[in-house]
Amino acid sequence: MKKKKGSVLIFFMMCILWLTACQPEETQSSPSEKEKAPKKDMMVKILPAEGFIENVGWMSSSEILSVREEDGVTSFYIYNVYDGSNQKIYDVQPSYVSASISPDKKKILIHSSPASYTAQLTIIDRSGEVQFQKDVPSYDLTHSWNPFNDDTLLMTTFNEDWSFQVFEINIGDGTMDPIDVEEPFVQWQSASSVLYQDWSKDEVSVSAPLVAQNILDGEKEMIMEDSIHFNQFNDSLLSVFSQEEKGPFTFQFIHSNGEVQSEFTVDLLSRYSDWLIPYYDMIEGTGRLITFVANEPGSFDTYSGTFSLKEWDTNSGEEKVLFDDLPLEPIKCSPDGESCLYGNQLEKVINLKNSSIVQLLKKEEGADI
Protein backbone atom coordinates (compact mmCIF):
# COMPACT_ATOMS: atom_id res chain seq x y z
CA MET A 1 0.00 0.00 0.00
CA LYS A 2 2.83 2.39 0.84
CA LYS A 3 4.39 1.67 -2.52
CA LYS A 4 1.12 2.45 -4.29
CA LYS A 5 0.75 5.74 -2.40
CA GLY A 6 4.31 6.68 -3.34
CA SER A 7 3.62 6.02 -7.00
CA VAL A 8 0.53 8.21 -6.91
CA LEU A 9 2.51 11.01 -5.23
CA ILE A 10 5.28 10.84 -7.84
CA PHE A 11 2.69 10.87 -10.62
CA PHE A 12 0.92 13.90 -9.06
CA MET A 13 4.20 15.85 -8.78
CA MET A 14 5.12 15.05 -12.39
CA CYS A 15 1.73 16.42 -13.54
CA ILE A 16 2.36 19.67 -11.64
CA LEU A 17 5.80 20.02 -13.23
CA TRP A 18 4.37 19.32 -16.67
CA LEU A 19 1.60 21.92 -16.26
CA THR A 20 4.11 24.49 -15.00
CA ALA A 21 6.37 23.90 -17.99
CA CYS A 22 3.46 24.32 -20.38
CA GLN A 23 2.08 27.47 -18.76
CA PRO A 24 4.26 30.09 -20.56
CA GLU A 25 3.29 28.65 -23.94
CA GLU A 26 -0.44 28.90 -23.10
CA THR A 27 -0.01 32.48 -21.88
CA GLN A 28 1.57 33.48 -25.18
CA SER A 29 -1.35 32.13 -27.18
CA SER A 30 -4.16 33.45 -24.96
CA PRO A 31 -6.79 35.63 -26.71
CA SER A 32 -5.98 38.70 -24.60
CA GLU A 33 -2.33 38.56 -25.63
CA LYS A 34 -3.25 38.12 -29.29
CA GLU A 35 -5.37 41.27 -29.12
CA LYS A 36 -2.36 43.18 -27.79
CA ALA A 37 -0.04 41.89 -30.50
CA PRO A 38 1.40 44.69 -32.65
CA LYS A 39 -0.18 45.23 -36.05
CA LYS A 40 1.67 44.60 -39.25
CA ASP A 41 2.81 47.56 -41.32
CA MET A 42 0.04 49.20 -43.30
CA MET A 43 -0.04 48.12 -46.93
CA VAL A 44 0.46 50.80 -49.59
CA LYS A 45 -1.23 51.20 -52.97
CA ILE A 46 -3.91 48.60 -52.34
CA LEU A 47 -6.77 50.52 -54.00
CA PRO A 48 -7.22 50.44 -57.80
CA ALA A 49 -6.93 53.99 -59.14
CA GLU A 50 -9.21 53.27 -62.10
CA GLY A 51 -12.78 54.17 -61.17
CA PHE A 52 -11.78 55.33 -57.68
CA ILE A 53 -14.22 57.92 -56.28
CA GLU A 54 -13.30 58.33 -52.62
CA ASN A 55 -12.72 56.69 -49.28
CA VAL A 56 -15.56 57.43 -46.87
CA GLY A 57 -13.95 56.62 -43.53
CA TRP A 58 -13.01 53.91 -41.03
CA MET A 59 -15.20 50.87 -40.43
CA SER A 60 -12.79 49.70 -37.70
CA SER A 61 -9.19 50.44 -36.73
CA SER A 62 -8.00 48.28 -39.65
CA GLU A 63 -10.80 48.64 -42.22
CA ILE A 64 -11.92 51.48 -44.46
CA LEU A 65 -14.97 52.01 -46.66
CA SER A 66 -13.98 52.73 -50.26
CA VAL A 67 -16.20 53.79 -53.19
CA ARG A 68 -15.44 53.29 -56.87
CA GLU A 69 -17.25 53.11 -60.20
CA GLU A 70 -17.34 49.79 -62.02
CA ASP A 71 -19.15 49.33 -65.35
CA GLY A 72 -21.49 52.25 -64.73
CA VAL A 73 -22.31 51.18 -61.16
CA THR A 74 -21.05 52.73 -57.92
CA SER A 75 -19.64 49.97 -55.72
CA PHE A 76 -18.86 50.00 -52.01
CA TYR A 77 -15.94 47.96 -50.68
CA ILE A 78 -14.55 47.33 -47.22
CA TYR A 79 -10.74 47.12 -47.38
CA ASN A 80 -8.39 45.90 -44.68
CA VAL A 81 -5.41 48.26 -44.88
CA TYR A 82 -3.08 45.81 -43.11
CA ASP A 83 -3.59 42.63 -45.14
CA GLY A 84 -5.13 44.05 -48.33
CA SER A 85 -8.24 41.87 -48.20
CA ASN A 86 -11.47 43.42 -49.49
CA GLN A 87 -15.16 42.69 -49.84
CA LYS A 88 -17.78 44.33 -52.03
CA ILE A 89 -20.88 44.99 -49.92
CA TYR A 90 -23.23 47.13 -52.05
CA ASP A 91 -23.91 48.67 -55.47
CA VAL A 92 -25.90 51.77 -56.46
CA GLN A 93 -26.65 53.18 -59.88
CA PRO A 94 -24.41 56.06 -61.10
CA SER A 95 -26.25 58.75 -59.14
CA TYR A 96 -24.03 58.57 -56.08
CA VAL A 97 -23.66 61.81 -54.14
CA SER A 98 -22.07 60.97 -50.79
CA ALA A 99 -21.89 58.49 -47.92
CA SER A 100 -21.16 58.51 -44.21
CA ILE A 101 -20.52 55.95 -41.48
CA SER A 102 -22.45 55.81 -38.21
CA PRO A 103 -20.58 56.51 -34.95
CA ASP A 104 -20.81 52.82 -33.94
CA LYS A 105 -19.30 51.80 -37.34
CA LYS A 106 -22.18 49.39 -37.97
CA LYS A 107 -24.24 51.38 -40.49
CA ILE A 108 -23.61 53.33 -43.69
CA LEU A 109 -25.81 56.12 -45.04
CA ILE A 110 -25.75 56.47 -48.83
CA HIS A 111 -27.14 59.58 -50.53
CA SER A 112 -27.91 59.11 -54.21
CA SER A 113 -29.96 61.18 -56.64
CA PRO A 114 -31.93 59.04 -59.12
CA ALA A 115 -33.77 62.09 -60.52
CA SER A 116 -33.62 65.89 -60.43
CA TYR A 117 -34.71 67.33 -57.07
CA THR A 118 -35.01 63.84 -55.62
CA ALA A 119 -32.73 62.25 -53.04
CA GLN A 120 -32.67 58.56 -52.25
CA LEU A 121 -31.55 57.75 -48.72
CA THR A 122 -30.29 54.22 -48.17
CA ILE A 123 -28.92 52.91 -44.89
CA ILE A 124 -27.13 49.56 -44.98
CA ASP A 125 -25.28 47.46 -42.44
CA ARG A 126 -21.71 46.18 -42.78
CA SER A 127 -22.85 43.21 -44.86
CA GLY A 128 -24.76 45.41 -47.32
CA GLU A 129 -28.25 44.55 -46.06
CA VAL A 130 -30.65 47.50 -46.47
CA GLN A 131 -31.94 48.75 -43.11
CA PHE A 132 -33.79 51.84 -44.36
CA GLN A 133 -34.55 53.36 -47.76
CA LYS A 134 -36.65 56.32 -48.79
CA ASP A 135 -36.96 58.78 -51.69
CA VAL A 136 -37.48 62.39 -50.60
CA PRO A 137 -38.01 65.59 -52.62
CA SER A 138 -34.85 67.61 -52.12
CA TYR A 139 -32.61 70.17 -53.79
CA ASP A 140 -29.92 69.42 -51.21
CA LEU A 141 -29.71 67.79 -47.80
CA THR A 142 -27.57 67.40 -44.70
CA HIS A 143 -27.65 64.94 -41.84
CA SER A 144 -26.34 64.24 -38.35
CA TRP A 145 -25.94 60.77 -36.81
CA ASN A 146 -27.05 60.38 -33.20
CA PRO A 147 -24.07 59.17 -31.11
CA PHE A 148 -26.42 58.64 -28.14
CA ASN A 149 -28.87 56.39 -30.00
CA ASP A 150 -27.43 54.36 -32.87
CA ASP A 151 -30.87 53.84 -34.41
CA THR A 152 -31.72 57.50 -35.10
CA LEU A 153 -30.35 60.45 -37.06
CA LEU A 154 -31.39 63.94 -38.12
CA MET A 155 -31.96 64.79 -41.77
CA THR A 156 -32.54 68.27 -43.19
CA THR A 157 -33.92 68.61 -46.71
CA PHE A 158 -33.66 71.90 -48.63
CA ASN A 159 -35.83 73.21 -51.44
CA GLU A 160 -34.41 75.28 -54.30
CA ASP A 161 -35.33 78.51 -52.45
CA TRP A 162 -33.41 77.13 -49.40
CA SER A 163 -36.53 76.66 -47.34
CA PHE A 164 -36.05 73.51 -45.29
CA GLN A 165 -37.54 70.80 -43.13
CA VAL A 166 -35.76 68.83 -40.39
CA PHE A 167 -36.68 65.16 -39.92
CA GLU A 168 -35.87 62.51 -37.35
CA ILE A 169 -35.17 59.13 -38.96
CA ASN A 170 -35.74 56.03 -36.86
CA ILE A 171 -34.02 53.16 -38.64
CA GLY A 172 -35.59 50.38 -36.60
CA ASP A 173 -39.13 51.69 -37.04
CA GLY A 174 -38.54 52.71 -40.66
CA THR A 175 -39.98 56.18 -39.97
CA MET A 176 -38.96 59.69 -41.04
CA ASP A 177 -40.93 62.24 -39.01
CA PRO A 178 -40.67 66.05 -39.24
CA ILE A 179 -39.58 67.93 -36.12
CA ASP A 180 -40.04 71.62 -35.35
CA VAL A 181 -36.61 73.28 -35.27
CA GLU A 182 -35.88 76.87 -36.29
CA GLU A 183 -32.48 76.24 -37.91
CA PRO A 184 -31.44 73.64 -40.52
CA PHE A 185 -27.96 72.75 -39.27
CA VAL A 186 -28.60 70.75 -36.13
CA GLN A 187 -26.68 68.17 -34.12
CA TRP A 188 -27.70 65.82 -31.34
CA GLN A 189 -26.87 66.97 -27.82
CA SER A 190 -28.45 63.90 -26.19
CA ALA A 191 -30.90 61.16 -27.14
CA SER A 192 -33.77 63.70 -27.00
CA SER A 193 -32.24 67.16 -27.49
CA VAL A 194 -30.50 68.97 -30.35
CA LEU A 195 -28.06 71.86 -30.71
CA TYR A 196 -28.09 74.70 -33.24
CA GLN A 197 -26.89 78.26 -33.71
CA ASP A 198 -29.76 80.73 -33.37
CA TRP A 199 -28.93 83.09 -36.23
CA SER A 200 -30.45 86.59 -36.33
CA LYS A 201 -33.09 87.13 -39.01
CA ASP A 202 -32.43 90.89 -39.06
CA GLU A 203 -28.69 91.18 -39.60
CA VAL A 204 -25.77 89.31 -41.09
CA SER A 205 -23.36 87.96 -38.48
CA VAL A 206 -20.46 85.51 -38.29
CA SER A 207 -21.52 84.24 -34.86
CA ALA A 208 -24.72 83.37 -33.01
CA PRO A 209 -25.94 82.04 -29.68
CA LEU A 210 -25.67 78.27 -29.29
CA VAL A 211 -29.04 76.84 -28.24
CA ALA A 212 -30.17 73.41 -27.04
CA GLN A 213 -33.75 72.31 -27.75
CA ASN A 214 -35.64 69.33 -26.39
CA ILE A 215 -37.41 67.77 -29.39
CA LEU A 216 -40.04 66.16 -27.15
CA ASP A 217 -41.42 69.30 -25.48
CA GLY A 218 -39.71 72.12 -27.47
CA GLU A 219 -38.05 73.60 -24.38
CA LYS A 220 -34.93 75.67 -25.19
CA GLU A 221 -31.77 76.54 -23.28
CA MET A 222 -28.91 78.86 -24.23
CA ILE A 223 -25.56 77.05 -24.00
CA MET A 224 -23.23 79.78 -25.28
CA GLU A 225 -23.97 83.45 -25.91
CA ASP A 226 -21.74 83.63 -28.95
CA SER A 227 -20.26 80.88 -31.15
CA ILE A 228 -18.93 80.79 -34.71
CA HIS A 229 -18.71 76.97 -34.82
CA PHE A 230 -19.71 74.01 -32.67
CA ASN A 231 -19.49 70.23 -32.65
CA GLN A 232 -20.98 67.77 -30.18
CA PHE A 233 -18.74 64.78 -29.47
CA ASN A 234 -19.52 61.78 -27.29
CA ASP A 235 -17.74 63.16 -24.23
CA SER A 236 -17.57 66.90 -24.82
CA LEU A 237 -18.94 69.88 -26.73
CA LEU A 238 -16.62 72.05 -28.84
CA SER A 239 -17.51 75.72 -29.22
CA VAL A 240 -15.36 78.26 -31.09
CA PHE A 241 -15.62 81.94 -30.19
CA SER A 242 -13.62 85.15 -29.88
CA GLN A 243 -13.68 88.04 -27.43
CA GLU A 244 -12.43 90.36 -30.21
CA GLU A 245 -13.92 90.88 -33.67
CA LYS A 246 -10.78 89.72 -35.50
CA GLY A 247 -9.57 87.10 -33.05
CA PRO A 248 -7.66 85.32 -31.74
CA PHE A 249 -10.20 82.52 -31.41
CA THR A 250 -10.76 80.11 -28.56
CA PHE A 251 -11.58 76.44 -29.12
CA GLN A 252 -13.35 75.56 -25.88
CA PHE A 253 -14.19 72.00 -24.86
CA ILE A 254 -17.07 71.64 -22.42
CA HIS A 255 -17.82 68.51 -20.39
CA SER A 256 -21.36 67.10 -20.31
CA ASN A 257 -21.73 68.50 -16.76
CA GLY A 258 -21.14 72.02 -18.10
CA GLU A 259 -17.59 72.42 -16.81
CA VAL A 260 -14.86 73.64 -19.18
CA GLN A 261 -12.37 70.82 -19.87
CA SER A 262 -9.76 72.83 -21.76
CA GLU A 263 -9.18 75.70 -24.18
CA PHE A 264 -6.85 76.30 -27.09
CA THR A 265 -6.29 79.68 -28.73
CA VAL A 266 -5.46 80.08 -32.44
CA ASP A 267 -5.65 82.57 -35.30
CA LEU A 268 -8.18 81.72 -37.99
CA LEU A 269 -8.06 82.73 -41.64
CA SER A 270 -10.79 85.14 -42.69
CA ARG A 271 -13.16 84.52 -45.61
CA TYR A 272 -15.60 86.83 -47.36
CA SER A 273 -18.44 86.35 -44.88
CA ASP A 274 -17.02 84.14 -42.12
CA TRP A 275 -13.90 82.48 -40.68
CA LEU A 276 -12.29 79.28 -41.94
CA ILE A 277 -12.46 76.39 -39.48
CA PRO A 278 -9.64 74.06 -40.63
CA TYR A 279 -10.24 70.32 -40.99
CA TYR A 280 -10.11 68.37 -37.73
CA ASP A 281 -11.23 65.08 -36.21
CA MET A 282 -11.84 63.88 -32.67
CA ILE A 283 -10.57 60.45 -31.65
CA GLU A 284 -13.53 59.51 -29.49
CA GLY A 285 -12.82 58.02 -26.09
CA THR A 286 -9.31 59.48 -25.90
CA GLY A 287 -10.00 63.22 -25.83
CA ARG A 288 -7.44 63.73 -28.62
CA LEU A 289 -8.37 66.22 -31.34
CA ILE A 290 -6.25 66.16 -34.51
CA THR A 291 -6.50 69.54 -36.23
CA PHE A 292 -4.89 71.76 -38.84
CA VAL A 293 -3.76 75.21 -37.72
CA ALA A 294 -2.67 78.06 -39.99
CA ASN A 295 0.89 79.07 -39.23
CA GLU A 296 0.23 82.72 -40.10
CA PRO A 297 -2.81 85.04 -39.88
CA GLY A 298 -4.42 86.37 -43.03
CA SER A 299 -7.17 85.88 -45.59
CA PHE A 300 -7.87 82.38 -46.87
CA ASP A 301 -8.40 83.61 -50.44
CA THR A 302 -4.87 85.01 -50.64
CA TYR A 303 -3.12 82.81 -48.08
CA SER A 304 0.23 81.47 -49.22
CA GLY A 305 1.48 80.32 -45.82
CA THR A 306 1.61 76.81 -44.42
CA PHE A 307 -0.49 74.71 -42.04
CA SER A 308 0.62 72.64 -39.09
CA LEU A 309 -1.10 69.44 -38.04
CA LYS A 310 -1.45 69.39 -34.27
CA GLU A 311 -2.78 67.10 -31.59
CA TRP A 312 -4.74 68.66 -28.75
CA ASP A 313 -5.35 66.62 -25.62
CA THR A 314 -8.68 68.04 -24.51
CA ASN A 315 -8.41 66.35 -21.11
CA SER A 316 -4.99 67.68 -20.06
CA GLY A 317 -4.84 70.79 -22.27
CA GLU A 318 -1.51 69.68 -23.74
CA GLU A 319 -0.62 70.35 -27.37
CA LYS A 320 1.96 68.86 -29.70
CA VAL A 321 2.90 69.41 -33.34
CA LEU A 322 2.67 66.35 -35.58
CA PHE A 323 3.66 68.06 -38.87
CA ASP A 324 4.77 71.67 -39.25
CA ASP A 325 4.04 71.97 -42.98
CA LEU A 326 1.19 69.97 -44.53
CA PRO A 327 -1.42 70.86 -47.20
CA LEU A 328 -4.85 71.62 -45.76
CA GLU A 329 -6.98 68.61 -46.77
CA PRO A 330 -9.74 66.55 -45.10
CA ILE A 331 -8.77 64.13 -42.35
CA LYS A 332 -10.53 61.23 -40.58
CA CYS A 333 -8.84 59.23 -37.83
CA SER A 334 -9.11 55.54 -36.95
CA PRO A 335 -10.91 54.53 -33.74
CA ASP A 336 -7.64 53.43 -32.10
CA GLY A 337 -6.04 56.80 -32.86
CA GLU A 338 -3.01 55.36 -34.63
CA SER A 339 -3.78 56.47 -38.19
CA CYS A 340 -5.80 59.05 -40.12
CA LEU A 341 -7.17 58.95 -43.63
CA TYR A 342 -6.03 62.14 -45.35
CA GLY A 343 -6.51 63.92 -48.66
CA ASN A 344 -9.27 65.41 -50.78
CA GLN A 345 -10.52 61.87 -51.49
CA LEU A 346 -9.06 60.46 -48.25
CA GLU A 347 -6.69 58.53 -50.49
CA LYS A 348 -3.67 58.69 -48.16
CA VAL A 349 -2.99 57.57 -44.59
CA ILE A 350 -1.05 59.44 -41.91
CA ASN A 351 0.65 57.21 -39.35
CA LEU A 352 0.47 59.23 -36.14
CA LYS A 353 2.98 57.00 -34.35
CA ASN A 354 5.90 57.57 -36.74
CA SER A 355 4.69 60.71 -38.59
CA SER A 356 4.74 59.06 -42.01
CA ILE A 357 2.27 59.30 -44.91
CA VAL A 358 1.46 56.45 -47.30
CA GLN A 359 -0.52 56.41 -50.56
CA LEU A 360 -3.40 53.94 -50.82
CA LEU A 361 -4.01 54.25 -54.56
CA LYS A 362 -2.16 52.06 -57.04
CA LYS A 363 -0.22 54.23 -59.42
CA GLU A 364 -1.18 53.42 -63.01
CA GLU A 365 1.43 53.20 -65.73
CA GLY A 366 2.35 56.71 -66.88
CA ALA A 367 0.02 58.41 -64.40
CA ASP A 368 0.83 60.71 -61.48
CA ILE A 369 -1.12 60.37 -58.25
What are the tens digits of pLDDT across the range 131-182? 999 999 999 999 999 999 989 999 999 999 999 999 999 999 999 999 999 9
- Can you list the alpha helix ranges (DSSP code H) found in 29-93? 31-36
Q: What is the mean pLDDT of residues 89-94?
A: 90
**Terminal-residue alpha carbon distance, the chain:** 84
pTM higher than 0.75, yes or no? yes
Question: Is residue 121 a contact partner of residue 132, using CB atoms and an 8 Å limit?
Answer: yes
Give exposure, 207-231, as e/b (b: 16+ Cβ within 10 Å): bbebbbbebeeeeeeebbeebbbbb
pLDDT > 80? residue 3: no
Which residue from 99, 42, 46, 39 is spatially nearest to 347, judged by alpha carbons? Answer: 46
Which residue from 228, 229, 197 is spatially nearest to 210, judged by alpha carbons? Answer: 197
pLDDT > 50? residue 69: yes
Q: Return the sign of the alpha-carbon dihedral for residues 245, 325, 252, 335.
A: positive
Residue 211 has what pLDDT? Answer: 96
- Can you list the alpha helix ranges (DSSP code H) found in the chain? 2-28, 31-36
Which residues, other chains included, contact 8 with Cβ-Cβ below 8 Å and sequence gap of 6+? none
What are the tens digits of pLDDT across the range 237-282? 999 999 877 779 999 999 988 899 999 999 999 998 889 999 999 9
pLDDT > 90? residue 115: no
Distance (Å, whole) CA 302 – CA 316: 35
Residue 368 has what pLDDT? Answer: 52
